[in-house]
Every structure is written in structure tokens, then in C-alpha cells.
Structure 1
Amino acid sequence: MSPAPRSFTQQEVSRHRTPASCWVLLGTRVYDVTGFLHLHPGGEALILGRSGRDVGPEMEGPPHRHSENARRWMEQYYIGELEQEQTVRERRNATEQTEGTLAGKTTDKKEEEDQNDAYNRCSPVDLDKDLVDWRKPLAWQVGHLGEKYDAWVHQPVDRPIRLFGNSLLEAGTKTSWYWVPVVWLPIVFYLSWYCFTTLAQGTTRIALTSDVSLSLHTSIFPLLFLTGWFLWSLVEYCIHRFVFHMKPPAHNYYLITLHFLLHGQHHKSPFDGARLVFPPGLASLVVGSFYVLLQHSLPEILGKSVFVGGLCGYVVYDMIHYYLHYGSPKRGSYMYSLKAYHVKHHFEHQRAGFGITTTFWDHPFNTVIPDEKF
């Protein structure tokens, strides 16, 4: 049997209205949303401006009615109940009748323990009732969920995920964001320099027919570079939609496991900072395939020029994806709209909104998330 929730007075709740300690109410339920401030798609100011009071009207909208996943997410920050006025008076009278310094110290200590209990109970997942055992690695469990997997994986939680029991294997699934530019930007710079200097020699020609050829100069490099970047945006969309968001057959244990390892774990725990960018080893398979395809489709220098633009686009994609989860863009900016769009993809429209760096490809493929203000 779980302990009774801690009770707070309105005065106590009202004291927590700063970035260091931010509480809100939903009816009579009290939530400590301090850890969510920098994650909120609308920015910290929207929550801080409503701290210490009931956010029920904002949850219902307008301008935006929060999804069931958003409401479920909020329950992870529940810490107790708001005392009713009559209860407050009764408790105050009882306190005034308490005598002795020792008794007072004991009461203070008990209240402090109760406070700690409230925070300890604020567990992101009910470990005893969830479909998987979070105390064990998840990689080999999710395949047994069958038809329940799709609904389960799209109910996000604020909790780290352990995929494998082996520490070395587990470490291989995590990547700090800075490894993306560290590994790939030197290649981008080198190939850009190589393509530019090769074209600058003025000896590169492309045969149009057996008798006609076209001389290529450095002026064409920016166009080829941007073409590669544009092609990457299409690759990004297709991978996200058709690979990461495939719906594995409920009876196929291995495809469910593969989906969870590739992308399902990110939707289950969208703010796991160690799994927001591609591990360089996995990314090299996509990058290598992109390179081979272009080298076999275009003349050597053209293929490299397009490739380096695509590789730069990939680096920007991974950095933007990380920023959309952990950054706080200025309200009204392009990045702000992208963050709001991506958060809706995670919490409400998992079958739409597949663009990360741009929403461009969602339009021709008819997967645009309906426009709502945050």
C-alpha cells in the first residue's frame, strides 16, 4: 500500500515560483515541474508565468489543448495535494496546541521525511504495473509485447533506458552530441577543400556527348553542395518515416526489437540526452551508402561535391535534433516553430511530422501536423 500523498497549503505552493523551484496546480493536485522548464516547447517563461496556480485552463486550451500523452507526462511530476481551507485551519489549530521545543523539532523532522517521501514517490514509471520490468535491460523484453508494443512505445516517460546488460554493449548505444561534429566536420572541411581546389584547376570537364564536353569551374561548387544538402533532407525524411516509424508486425519479435533499438527507445524516453544523435558507427553505414550511390551515379568530382553537401546536412540535422529536445529557442523564431512541431510529433502526432530540419517534405507526402499555436 503506497503512502498517502503529502499535503501543501496554497501559501506553500505560491512560494515555488522560480526557475530553481517551480510548482503548479492542476485542480487540487500539486506538481513540481522544475525539471521540465527547459524542456517545455513553449519555453520556460510560459510555465513560470503560471507557476503557483492552477494550469487547468491552459491544459484544456485554447490556444492548444494538451494531448493525453502530455497529461500522462505531467503526472510524473506529481508530489501531493492542495489542502482545503478547512483542513488548513484544523491543522493550524492542532499545531498551536503542540507544546515543547523537542516536540516541535520532531514534527519538523517528520515533515522533512514526508517531503522526501513525496519526491521519492514521484517515479516516472509504475515499476510494478508497467508492461516491462524497468529494473532489467529492455532490449530483449519489448519483442514480447506483441500488439501492445505500438501503444506502449508511444507513451513517453521521463526515465533513462537501459537497453543491454553488458556494460560495453550498453555504452556503444550512447553518444554525446559533440562527437557528431568532432567525427564528421573534419571530413566535410577536407572534401570541400579538395573539391574546390580540383575545380579551381580548370581541367575538369564533363562529357555531354561524344563531341561535346562542359568545363566545370569553382562557381558550380556551391550549387552542387546545396544540391547534396537538399538531397539529404529527403533522405532524412524517408529514413525517419519509412524506417524509424515502420510499424512492426505484432507477431514478429525480432522486428519489434529492431524497431525499439533504432527509434522506439527514443520515443519512449525522448529526453534521454545520450541517445539523441547517431552513434558514428551506425551513421557511417548511412553515410557510406550515400557516398557509394553518388559516386556510381555521377562523375567523380560531381559526386564528391554533392556528397559533402549531404554530409554537412546530416551534421546540421543531428545538431538541430539535439537542440529541439534540449534547447530554448526564442519565441517566434524558426527554431521555436521547429521545436513545437517536433514535440507534437512525439506527444500527439507520431504518424506525421517526420521533418526535423525542415517541414518541407511533409507537404508533398501529406504528413503535415495541423498548425496550432503553443
Structure 2
Amino acid sequence: MATAGPRSFSAAEVRARCAQGACLVSCRRRLYDLSGFVRLHPGGEQLLRRRAGTDVSAALDGPPHRHSENARRWLEQYYVGDIEPGDEQVPPRGRAGTGGHAQNPPAAAAAQLCAWYWDGLWVPQHYSPCVLPQDLVDWQKPLLWQVGYLGEKYDEWVHQPVDRPIRLFHSDFLEFLSKTAWYVVFMVWTPVVLYLSWVSYTSLAQGNTRLFSSFTTEYSIPVHKYYFPFIFLLGMVLWSLLEYLIHRFVFHMKPPASNYYLITLHFLLHGQHHKSPFDSSRLVFPPVPASLVIGFFYGVLRLLLPEVLGLCVFVGGLCGYVIYDMMHYYLHYGSPKKGTYLYGLKAYHVKHHFEHQKSGFGISTRFWDYPFRTLIPEETFKKED
């Protein structure tokens, strides 16, 4: 079915829309409406607002960093038309004509551009007139039962992010259970943390808890109630390590191309998040499956440590998990102030999603990326020569 050609916009029309609050930017005559994306931008909302109505082609090439191929694909989802000939804005800074994808062909070649640039990637019709004749999956049906058939194409496909919600299950009930608003995690687990903290502290206050030496059972160390904050913090530190290990070795395992079930499991656990990183209903762990995982780790601690000590470590780890889930949501949907810790962490995490999927596994902290040598190198944030 034939589609209409791209609409043309005059510079005056672009300025008028920006004056009304829209965030329109151009890249060598191609016009993009970023109004719905400004708050999600890792560089901050104000950075995009300042560029409204201008050509951003030089900014895509850096500094402060050269945007990845995925970031350029992501931009194309917001394509709305072309700037009328003669109304193009000169890029405010940087060098024009650098980089393979920085060049934009004439408007007559727009269809060829999309076919070449969006191989296997969904393009929303309300953003772009260039719609692929086919995609690797049927977005009108639940994806969970389709991704296993992608085989060798799955790993590349799942790491090409799109801006749209994902449906996993045919069943409305299962679909409901797979989605969670961020505040549900806080409301469910914070009372549990507070209650178990009180139980742990009062149990230690009875003075019956002792830590036996690993060398002899005749000598034991009393554990006073004053030790609770330190044991609690130990649990939080252990959680941060567990967070890193799960993210790296479970969530980012590369399933065999021939194994339908492992591909499906990977997509269910984490692939869906990389495919649609700004789906707000899938940024935190639903309480029902989370309770099973949390219960498993509590059982492990009960086996390894005396009951009260295991509970103290567990509640610290549970608090760490709640902080992690809240922070993960904020890193995707928050707009931290430039120069703050969370601002740098948001840019770091977005880099993991869009360019460095094999590194940058720390979410609430980069600490464990240092000893495990998976830190995203700082120079990738700077302009490439």
C-alpha cells in the first residue's frame, strides 16, 4: 500500500510550534518532534529545550559524545517531515559532513534511507512516513511466543531499542501480573523492611545471638543490638554485588540461537526491557515473581547464618533491592540535575542500553564494574577525533 510522502515545514512554522512548547529539531532538513522525549533524554530536558528549532546534526557527532547508531535509529522514530528547501538552519557548531550516518540524502531518497537505516526495526507510522514492509515480529500479537523463532537475529534485534509498549502474554491476567507501577514496589516492600528491621533489632537486644567461630564450637562471639546497623549495611553491600552478578550473568546471557526456550526466557527476564527501555510499566520487578526470588535468597541465608543474623543481612539486602528498583525507574524517567551523582549514573545507564550492552552492568552504583573490568570507559563520552 502506497504511503504519502513526507510533509514539508517552513522555518516559520517550526519556530511557531516551538514557541507554543513543542520541541522540534532538524538534522539536515529532516524534522523531528521530540516533545514526548525531552524528559527522558539522558542529557537533561533543558539541553533539548535549548536546541528546539535548531539543526542538531553537529551535536549528534559530539561533543560531549558521538551518538551511537542506536541513538540515531531512536531519533528516526520521531521524524515528522522535512524542512522546506532554503529554510535549513546552519548547524550551530561542529563540522558538517562527518560520520557515515550524519549525512542526509535528498528528500527524494527518503524511502531508500529508511529501508537501509531501519533493517529489521519497527517504525511507528505516526512518527515516520517511511514504514517497513515487514518486521521480524508481529507487533499486533504478544511477543513472548515469537522471539524464540528469531534465532541468530534475536541478539541484534533485542538490542535495537524502540519507543513503544510491549505485550507479552495472550492472557490479560498474566499480562496484568507482568506490569508494575514503580510505587507498587515501594508500597509492598517498605513495610516488610521496616517490620523485619524491628524484629531483627529486638531479637538482637535479647542478647541470645552468638556467632560461632569457624575453628571451634567452644568459643562464640556475642552479637549485640548495636551491631545491627553494620549488619544491615553489609546486607545492602551484598545486594549490590548480587545486583551486578544477576544483571551481568543472567540478564545478559546470550542464549543459543537454536534454543527457542532460552531465547524466550531471556526476553521475559530482561530482553523486553532492552527492546523497549522506556516502557514505564516494565521498569521494576513485579511483586509476585519477586517474592519467589526473595524467598529463595532468604532460605539460603537461613542455611548459612544463625537465624537472627541471617534475618539482619536479609533485611539489609531487601532494602538495597527496593532502593535499586526505585533508582532504576528514576534513571529511565527522572531528570536529575546536571553535575549530580544521579545525572552521571543516568547517562552511564543509557549508554549501557544504547551502545555498551556488554559492559556497564552496575545500576545503583558503578562500584562493581571496576574490579570486574566492565566499566564503560570515560573516553566514550568525549568527542571522537
1:42 aligns with 2:49: no
| Structure 1 residue 17: Cα displacement | 2.9
| Structure 1 residue 125: Cα displacement | 9.5
Q: Match for residue 169 of structure 2?
A: 164
Kindly indicate whether the alpha-carbon contact (under 8 Å) linking 1:19 and 1:48 is maintained by their aligned counterparts in 2. Answer: no
Q: Match for residue 265 of structure 2?
A: 258
Q: Match for residue 3 of structure 1?
A: 4
Kindly indicate whether the alpha-carbon contact (under 8 Å) linking 1:19 and 1:37 is maintained by their aligned counterparts in 2. Answer: no
Aligned partners of 2:336, 2:151: CA distance in 1, in Å?
39
1:344 aligns with 2:345: no
Give the secondary-structure state (helix, strand or coil) at the position aligned to 1:187: helix
Q: Match for residue 235 of structure 1?
A: 242
CA distance 1:86–1:271, change in 2 (3 Å):
closer
Amino acid aligned to 2:208: T
Aligned partners of 2:126, 2:283: CA distance in 1, in Å?
28
CA distance 1:120–1:132, change in 2 (3 Å):
closer
CA distance 1:26–1:152, change in 2 (3 Å):
same
Kindly indicate whether the alpha-carbon contact (under 8 Å) linking 1:16 and 1:51 is maintained by their aligned counterparts in 2. Answer: no
Residue 280 (structure 1) aligned to one of 287, 312, 316: 287
Q: Deviations over 1:204-254 (max 9, x none)?
A: 333333433222212110110000000001111111111111100011111
| Structure 1 residue 3: Cα displacement | 0.3
| Structure 1 residue 86: Cα displacement | 8.8
CA distance 1:123–1:80, change in 2 (3 Å):
closer
- After TM superposition, the score normalised by the length of structure 1 is 0.88
Residue 207 (structure 1) aligned to one of 182, 188, 212: 212
Amino acid aligned to 1:171: F
Q: Match for residue 300 of structure 1?
A: 307
Kindly indicate whether the alpha-carbon contact (under 8 Å) linking 2:234 and 2:316 is maintained by their aligned counterparts in 1. Answer: yes
Q: Match for residue 193 of structure 1?
A: 198
* Identity percentage of aligned residues: 63
Aligned partners of 1:193, 1:365: CA distance in 2, in Å?
35
CA distance 1:229–1:149, change in 2 (3 Å):
same
Q: Match for residue 103 of structure 1?
A: none
Q: Match for residue 57 of structure 1?
A: 58
Unaligned stretches of 5+ residues in structure 1: 88-118
CA distance 1:165–1:124, change in 2 (3 Å):
farther
Give the secondary-structure state (helix, strand or coil) at the position aligned to 1:15: helix
Aligned partners of 1:366, 1:339: CA distance in 2, in Å?
20
Residue 375 (structure 2) aligned to one of 360, 368, 373: 368
Amino acid aligned to 2:291: S
5 Å-filtered alignment, 1:93-242, equals 121-122=126-127, 126=131, 128-208=133-213, 209-242=216-249
| Structure 1 residue 172: Cα displacement | 1.4
| Structure 1 residue 124: Cα displacement | 11
| Structure 1 residue 123: Cα displacement | 5.4
| Structure 1 residue 174: Cα displacement | 0.6
Aligned partners of 1:212, 1:23: CA distance in 2, in Å?
72
Task: State which drifts further: 173-182 or 324-333.
Answer: 173-182
| Structure 1 residue 190: Cα displacement | 0.8
| Structure 1 residue 318: Cα displacement | 0.4
Aligned partners of 1:154, 1:167: CA distance in 2, in Å?
27
| Structure 1 residue 57: Cα displacement | 0.5
CA distance 1:245–1:126, change in 2 (3 Å):
farther
Amino acid aligned to 1:161: I
Q: Deviations over 1:172-208 (max 9, x none)?
A: 1111111111111111111110111122223333333
Amino acid aligned to 1:308: V
Aligned partners of 1:199, 1:124: CA distance in 2, in Å?
66
1:73 aligns with 2:78: no
Give the aligned length.
Answer: 343
CA distance 1:273–1:86, change in 2 (3 Å):
closer
Kindly indicate whether the alpha-carbon contact (under 8 Å) linking 1:231 and 1:310 is maintained by their aligned counterparts in 2. Answer: yes
Amino acid aligned to 1:164: F
CA distance 1:44–1:302, change in 2 (3 Å):
same
Give the secondary-structure state (helix, strand or coil) at the position aligned to 2:244: helix
Structure number with bigger Rg: 1
Higher helix share: 1
1:268 aligns with 2:260: no
| Structure 1 residue 16: Cα displacement | 3.2
Amino acid aligned to 1:29: R
Kindly indicate whether the alpha-carbon contact (under 8 Å) linking 2:29 and 2:83 is maintained by their aligned counterparts in 1. Answer: yes
CA distance 1:309–1:145, change in 2 (3 Å):
same
